[in-house]
Chain A
Protein backbone atom coordinates (compact mmCIF):
# COMPACT_ATOMS: atom_id res chain seq x y z
CA UNK A 1 0.00 0.00 0.00
CA UNK A 2 1.36 3.39 -0.90
CA UNK A 3 2.08 6.27 1.41
CA UNK A 4 -1.10 8.13 0.46
CA UNK A 5 -3.34 5.23 -0.38
CA UNK A 6 -5.57 5.31 2.68
CA UNK A 7 -8.07 7.98 3.41
CA UNK A 8 -10.27 8.39 6.42
CA UNK A 9 -10.73 6.04 9.33
CA UNK A 10 -13.02 3.42 7.87
CA UNK A 11 -13.98 2.24 11.35
CA UNK A 12 -15.46 5.67 11.94
CA UNK A 13 -16.71 6.28 8.43
CA UNK A 14 -18.27 2.80 8.22
CA UNK A 15 -19.22 3.05 4.57
CA UNK A 16 -18.10 4.91 1.48
CA UNK A 17 -21.54 6.49 1.08
CA UNK A 18 -21.12 8.49 4.25
CA UNK A 19 -17.84 10.26 3.72
CA UNK A 20 -17.70 13.14 6.21
CA UNK A 21 -16.96 16.44 4.54
CA UNK A 22 -16.52 19.98 5.68
CA UNK A 23 -14.16 22.91 5.36
CA UNK A 24 -11.50 21.64 7.75
CA UNK A 25 -8.56 21.98 5.37
CA UNK A 26 -9.82 25.35 4.13
CA UNK A 27 -10.02 26.70 7.68
CA UNK A 28 -6.55 25.45 8.56
CA UNK A 29 -5.19 27.22 5.47
CA UNK A 30 -6.59 30.54 6.74
CA UNK A 31 -3.91 30.56 9.42
CA UNK A 32 -1.45 33.45 8.82
CA UNK A 33 1.43 31.00 8.50
CA UNK A 34 -0.10 29.61 5.31
CA UNK A 35 -0.92 32.94 3.68
CA UNK A 36 2.56 33.35 2.23
CA UNK A 37 2.65 29.91 0.59
CA UNK A 38 4.41 29.99 -2.72
CA UNK A 39 6.13 33.31 -2.01
CA UNK A 40 9.88 33.61 -1.65
CA UNK A 41 10.86 32.77 1.91
CA UNK A 42 13.63 35.21 2.79
CA UNK A 43 14.41 33.48 6.04
CA UNK A 44 15.77 30.29 4.56
CA UNK A 45 19.45 29.59 4.18
CA UNK A 46 18.78 28.46 0.62
CA UNK A 47 17.54 31.92 -0.43
CA UNK A 48 20.50 33.72 1.07
CA UNK A 49 22.88 31.07 -0.20
CA UNK A 50 21.73 31.65 -3.76
CA UNK A 51 21.85 35.45 -3.41
CA UNK A 52 25.27 35.58 -1.76
CA UNK A 53 26.71 32.98 -4.13
CA UNK A 54 25.42 34.99 -7.08
CA UNK A 55 26.99 38.17 -5.70
CA UNK A 56 30.33 36.44 -5.12
CA UNK A 57 30.41 34.92 -8.59
CA UNK A 58 29.37 38.23 -10.17
CA UNK A 59 32.00 40.22 -8.31
CA UNK A 60 34.70 37.68 -9.16
CA UNK A 61 33.68 37.75 -12.83
CA UNK A 62 33.94 41.58 -12.93
CA UNK A 63 37.30 41.58 -11.14
CA UNK A 64 38.74 38.93 -13.44
CA UNK A 65 37.40 40.65 -16.54
CA UNK A 66 38.94 43.95 -15.48
CA UNK A 67 42.24 42.30 -14.64
CA UNK A 68 42.68 40.45 -17.94
CA UNK A 69 40.97 42.70 -20.47
CA UNK A 70 41.94 46.23 -19.45
Chain B
Protein backbone atom coordinates (compact mmCIF):
# COMPACT_ATOMS: atom_id res chain seq x y z
CA UNK B 1 0.00 0.00 0.00
CA UNK B 2 1.32 3.44 -0.88
CA UNK B 3 1.94 6.05 1.75
CA UNK B 4 -0.78 8.26 0.28
CA UNK B 5 -3.48 6.06 1.75
CA UNK B 6 -3.44 6.52 5.49
CA UNK B 7 -0.17 8.16 6.29
CA UNK B 8 2.34 6.61 8.65
CA UNK B 9 3.71 8.90 11.28
CA UNK B 10 7.26 8.28 12.22
CA UNK B 11 8.95 9.80 15.19
CA UNK B 12 12.67 9.54 15.51
CA UNK B 13 14.29 10.29 18.81
CA UNK B 14 17.91 11.04 19.39
CA UNK B 15 19.80 8.18 21.03
CA UNK B 16 19.73 8.51 24.80
CA UNK B 17 16.44 10.38 24.97
CA UNK B 18 14.84 9.70 28.33
CA UNK B 19 12.11 7.01 27.98
CA UNK B 20 9.68 9.06 30.08
CA UNK B 21 10.23 12.07 27.82
CA UNK B 22 9.70 9.94 24.73
CA UNK B 23 6.53 8.57 26.25
CA UNK B 24 5.13 11.99 27.09
CA UNK B 25 5.98 13.15 23.62
CA UNK B 26 4.06 10.49 21.74
CA UNK B 27 1.00 9.69 23.84
CA UNK B 28 -1.04 12.59 22.53
CA UNK B 29 -0.58 11.35 18.96
CA UNK B 30 -2.42 8.18 19.95
CA UNK B 31 -5.63 9.89 20.97
CA UNK B 32 -5.41 12.36 18.08
CA UNK B 33 -5.35 9.43 15.64
CA UNK B 34 -8.25 7.75 17.46
CA UNK B 35 -10.22 11.00 17.17
CA UNK B 36 -9.45 11.23 13.45
CA UNK B 37 -10.43 7.62 12.89
CA UNK B 38 -13.75 7.69 14.73
CA UNK B 39 -14.95 10.50 12.45
CA UNK B 40 -13.98 8.60 9.32
CA UNK B 41 -17.05 7.16 7.57
CA UNK B 42 -14.89 4.35 6.15
CA UNK B 43 -14.05 3.28 9.71
CA UNK B 44 -17.69 3.59 10.80
CA UNK B 45 -18.84 1.41 7.89
CA UNK B 46 -16.27 -1.22 8.81
CA UNK B 47 -17.38 -1.15 12.46
CA UNK B 48 -21.01 -1.70 11.47
CA UNK B 49 -19.98 -4.50 9.12
CA UNK B 50 -18.05 -6.21 11.94
CA UNK B 51 -21.09 -6.04 14.22
CA UNK B 52 -23.42 -7.33 11.53
CA UNK B 53 -21.08 -10.20 10.68
CA UNK B 54 -20.85 -11.08 14.38
CA UNK B 55 -24.63 -11.05 14.69
CA UNK B 56 -24.68 -8.42 17.43
CA UNK B 57 -28.17 -7.09 18.04
CA UNK B 58 -28.98 -3.41 18.43
CA UNK B 59 -28.63 -1.92 21.93
CA UNK B 60 -26.31 -4.73 22.98
CA UNK B 61 -23.50 -2.43 24.10
CA UNK B 62 -21.30 -5.05 25.69
CA UNK B 63 -21.82 -7.30 22.67
CA UNK B 64 -20.65 -4.51 20.37
CA UNK B 65 -17.55 -3.83 22.46
CA UNK B 66 -16.70 -7.54 22.62
CA UNK B 67 -17.21 -7.99 18.86
CA UNK B 68 -14.94 -5.07 17.96
CA UNK B 69 -12.26 -6.14 20.45
CA UNK B 70 -12.42 -9.70 19.15
CA UNK B 71 -12.12 -8.58 15.54
CA UNK B 72 -9.03 -6.47 16.26
CA UNK B 73 -7.46 -9.25 18.34
CA UNK B 74 -7.92 -11.83 15.62
CA UNK B 75 -7.34 -9.78 12.46
CA UNK B 76 -4.57 -7.30 13.29
CA UNK B 77 -1.04 -8.71 13.20
CA UNK B 78 1.38 -7.74 15.94
CA UNK B 79 4.84 -6.69 14.79
CA UNK B 80 7.32 -4.64 16.80
CA UNK B 81 8.40 -1.21 15.59
CA UNK B 82 11.93 -0.78 14.29
CA UNK B 83 14.65 0.04 16.79
CA UNK B 84 14.39 3.64 18.08
CA UNK B 85 11.52 4.45 15.73
CA UNK B 86 7.84 4.75 16.45
CA UNK B 87 5.37 4.14 13.65
CA UNK B 88 1.72 5.13 13.91
CA UNK B 89 -0.86 3.92 11.41
CA UNK B 90 -4.22 5.55 10.86
CA UNK B 91 -7.30 3.39 11.44
CA UNK B 92 -8.28 3.63 7.76
CA UNK B 93 -4.89 2.43 6.62
CA UNK B 94 -4.92 -0.44 9.09
CA UNK B 95 -8.37 -1.61 7.97
CA UNK B 96 -7.24 -1.58 4.36
CA UNK B 97 -4.09 -3.49 5.23
CA UNK B 98 -6.07 -6.07 7.19
CA UNK B 99 -8.36 -6.56 4.22
CA UNK B 100 -5.35 -6.87 1.94
CA UNK B 101 -3.61 -9.29 4.29
CA UNK B 102 -0.63 -7.00 4.79
CA UNK B 103 -1.29 -5.58 8.24
CA UNK B 104 1.39 -5.11 10.85
CA UNK B 105 1.45 -2.92 13.92
CA UNK B 106 2.31 -2.81 17.58
CA UNK B 107 0.14 -2.13 20.63
CA UNK B 108 -0.31 1.57 19.91
CA UNK B 109 -1.58 0.82 16.41
CA UNK B 110 -4.00 -1.77 17.80
CA UNK B 111 -5.34 0.88 20.18
CA UNK B 112 -5.72 3.41 17.37
CA UNK B 113 -7.67 0.85 15.35
CA UNK B 114 -9.85 -0.47 18.19
CA UNK B 115 -10.45 3.02 19.59
CA UNK B 116 -11.46 4.42 16.20
CA UNK B 117 -13.86 1.52 15.54
CA UNK B 118 -15.52 1.75 18.95
CA UNK B 119 -15.51 5.54 18.89
CA UNK B 120 -17.22 5.51 15.50
CA UNK B 121 -20.04 3.55 17.17
CA UNK B 122 -20.42 6.23 19.83
CA UNK B 123 -18.48 4.78 22.73
CA UNK B 124 -16.14 6.90 24.87
CA UNK B 125 -12.63 5.62 24.22
CA UNK B 126 -9.12 6.32 25.34
CA UNK B 127 -5.61 4.97 25.49
CA UNK B 128 -4.62 3.39 28.79
CA UNK B 129 -0.87 3.62 29.06
CA UNK B 130 0.39 1.09 31.57
CA UNK B 131 3.50 -0.03 33.41
CA UNK B 132 3.49 -3.82 33.08
CA UNK B 133 7.00 -4.42 34.40
CA UNK B 134 6.54 -2.59 37.71
CA UNK B 135 9.72 -0.66 37.02
CA UNK B 136 8.22 2.83 36.92
CA UNK B 137 8.34 3.06 33.14
CA UNK B 138 5.22 3.04 30.98
CA UNK B 139 5.86 0.36 28.39
CA UNK B 140 2.51 -0.72 26.99
CA UNK B 141 -0.82 0.69 25.93
CA UNK B 142 -4.32 -0.78 26.15
CA UNK B 143 -7.71 0.47 25.02
CA UNK B 144 -10.21 1.71 27.58
CA UNK B 145 -13.93 2.21 27.05
CA UNK B 146 -17.25 1.92 28.85
CA UNK B 147 -20.91 1.22 28.17
CA UNK B 148 -23.56 3.90 28.60
CA UNK B 149 -25.95 1.58 30.43
CA UNK B 150 -24.66 -0.33 33.44
CA UNK B 151 -24.02 -4.01 32.76
CA UNK B 152 -24.05 -7.00 35.10
CA UNK B 153 -20.44 -7.73 34.26
CA UNK B 154 -18.88 -4.27 34.53
CA UNK B 155 -21.53 -1.97 35.98
CA UNK B 156 -20.73 1.59 34.94
CA UNK B 157 -17.00 1.07 35.19
CA UNK B 158 -14.31 1.76 32.66
CA UNK B 159 -13.26 -1.42 30.88
CA UNK B 160 -9.60 -1.94 29.91
CA UNK B 161 -9.14 -4.03 26.78
CA UNK B 162 -5.96 -5.88 25.87
CA UNK B 163 -5.97 -5.98 22.09
CA UNK B 164 -2.67 -7.65 21.23
CA UNK B 165 -3.53 -11.07 22.69
CA UNK B 166 -6.61 -12.95 21.38
CA UNK B 167 -6.79 -15.00 24.59
CA UNK B 168 -7.56 -11.91 26.69
CA UNK B 169 -11.22 -11.12 27.34
CA UNK B 170 -12.32 -7.54 27.83
CA UNK B 171 -11.48 -6.36 31.34
CA UNK B 172 -8.41 -8.58 31.53
CA UNK B 173 -4.84 -7.35 31.48
CA UNK B 174 -1.32 -8.48 32.22
CA UNK B 175 -0.11 -7.51 35.72
CA UNK B 176 -0.18 -3.74 35.88
CA UNK B 177 1.32 -1.50 38.55
CA UNK B 178 0.47 1.94 37.20
CA UNK B 179 -1.83 3.42 34.58
CA UNK B 180 -1.98 6.71 32.69
CA UNK B 181 -5.35 7.15 30.97
CA UNK B 182 -5.59 9.53 28.05
CA UNK B 183 -9.12 10.00 26.78
CA UNK B 184 -10.03 10.82 23.21
CA UNK B 185 -12.11 13.96 22.92
CA UNK B 186 -14.99 13.15 20.62
CA UNK B 187 -15.78 16.83 20.18
CA UNK B 188 -12.27 18.03 19.43
CA UNK B 189 -12.08 20.25 16.37
CA UNK B 190 -8.73 20.42 14.62
CA UNK B 191 -6.99 19.44 11.44
CA UNK B 192 -6.61 15.66 11.00
CA UNK B 193 -3.25 14.22 11.98
CA UNK B 194 -2.27 12.88 8.59
CA UNK B 195 0.53 13.36 6.14
CA UNK B 196 2.85 14.48 8.88
CA UNK B 197 6.37 13.32 9.43
CA UNK B 198 7.40 14.40 12.86
CA UNK B 199 11.00 14.40 13.88
CA UNK B 200 11.77 13.98 17.59
CA UNK B 201 10.72 16.26 20.44
CA UNK B 202 11.17 19.36 18.30
CA UNK B 203 8.77 17.94 15.75
CA UNK B 204 6.18 17.23 18.41
CA UNK B 205 6.49 20.76 19.76
CA UNK B 206 5.78 21.94 16.25
CA UNK B 207 2.32 20.40 16.51
CA UNK B 208 1.38 22.92 19.17
CA UNK B 209 0.31 26.42 18.05
CA UNK B 210 2.84 27.99 20.39
CA UNK B 211 5.51 25.73 18.93
CA UNK B 212 4.60 26.86 15.45
CA UNK B 213 4.71 30.52 16.50
CA UNK B 214 8.14 29.83 17.95
CA UNK B 215 9.25 28.69 14.53
CA UNK B 216 9.11 24.93 15.04
CA UNK B 217 7.53 23.55 11.91
CA UNK B 218 6.11 20.20 10.99
CA UNK B 219 7.38 18.37 7.97
CA UNK B 220 4.53 17.60 5.62
A residues with a Cβ closer than 8 A to B are: 1-9, 19-26, 28-30, 34-35, 37-38
Contact = CB atoms under 8 A, between A and B. Distances in A.
B67 interface: no
Interface in B167-210: 167-168, 171-179, 181, 183
A10 B107 CA distance: 17
Contacts of B80: 1-2, 5
Contact of A38 (B126, B165, B171): B126
Interface centre among A22, A23, A29 (most CB of B within 10 A): A29
B180 to A, nearest CB: 10
Given A2-B106, A5-B80, A8-B174, A29 B22 contact: no
A4 to B, nearest CB: 5
Contacts of A38: 124, 126, 183
Q: Give the interface size bracket for B toward A.
A: 35 or more
Interface of B: 19, 22-23, 26, 80-87, 106-108, 124, 126, 128-130, 132-133, 138-142, 144, 157-160, 162, 164-165, 167-168, 171-179, 181, 183
Contacts of A1: 80-84
A21 B99 CA distance: 30
Nearest to B158: A29
A3 B139 CA distance: 6
Contact of B23 (A3, A8, A29, A37): A3
26 contacts: A1-B82, A2-B85, A2-B86, A2-B106, A2-B108, A3-B108, A4-B140, A5-B81, A5-B106, A6-B139, A8-B133, A9-B132, A9-B133, A21-B173, A22-B174, A24-B173, A25-B130, A25-B142, A25-B160, A26-B157, A26-B159, A26-B172, A29-B158, A29-B181, A37-B158, A38-B183
